[in-house]
Amino acid sequence: METFSIGQLAKQAGLNIQTIRYYERRGLLPAPKRRESGYRYYLAEDLSRLEFIKHAKSLGFSLNEINELLALRVDPDHTCDDFREEATQKIAEIDIKIKQLQRIKKALLQLTAACRTKEATVECPILQFLEDTK
C-alpha cells in the first residue's frame, strides 16, 4: 500500500500543504493516519479525494457543495440522479451569474463609450458613475 507524506500528497495533487490542512479542518479530507512515530501519512484514497475536490471546484462547486457531493458519493442509498440534481442546480446558478455579468459588461461598455480621453477627470463619466451615491 502506497503512502504519502503531506508534502508528497500536495505535490501529487498539485496543491499546497496549507490547502490540504484547510480541507482537513473543513472536513473535506479525513484526518490523516499516524505512524507509530507520530508522523502523519496519507493513502491513495486521500489523493483521489483531493482530485475529486479539485475537479468539482473547477466546475464551480463551492466547498460546502463539494462536502455534500462527497457525502452523496459514499452513501449507497444515493443514485446518479442525486448528482444530476446537484449539477442542474449549479447550472441554474451559473445562468444567473452569466446574466449578471452580461449586465455589468453592458454598463461598462456604455460608460467606456461615453468616456472622452481628453476630458478632465471631473468630467469622466466612469468616475461620475462610481462616485454617484444614489
pLDDT at 97: 96
- Distance in angstroms (rounded) separating the CA atoms of residues 81 and 87: 10
Q: What is the pLDDT of residue 59?
A: 94
User: Is a pLDDT exceeding 70 seen at residue 133?
Assistant: no
Compute the distance between CA of residue 78 and CA of residue 32 in angstroms, rounded to an integer.
Answer: 26
Q: How confident is the model over 4-43, as pLDDT tens digits?
A: 999 999 999 999 999 999 999 999 999 999 999 988 899 9
Output the nine-digit C-alpha cell for 35. Answer: 505512524
Grid coordinates of 64: 460546502
Task: Report which DSSP code applies to 59.
Answer: T
1 versus 109: which is more confidently predicted? 109
Q: Who's near 35: CB < 8 A, 6+ residues apart? A: 41
Segment (H or E) for 42: strand 40-43
d(CA 134, CA 125) in angstroms, rounded, equals 15
- Give the C-alpha separation, 120 to 18, whole Å: 47
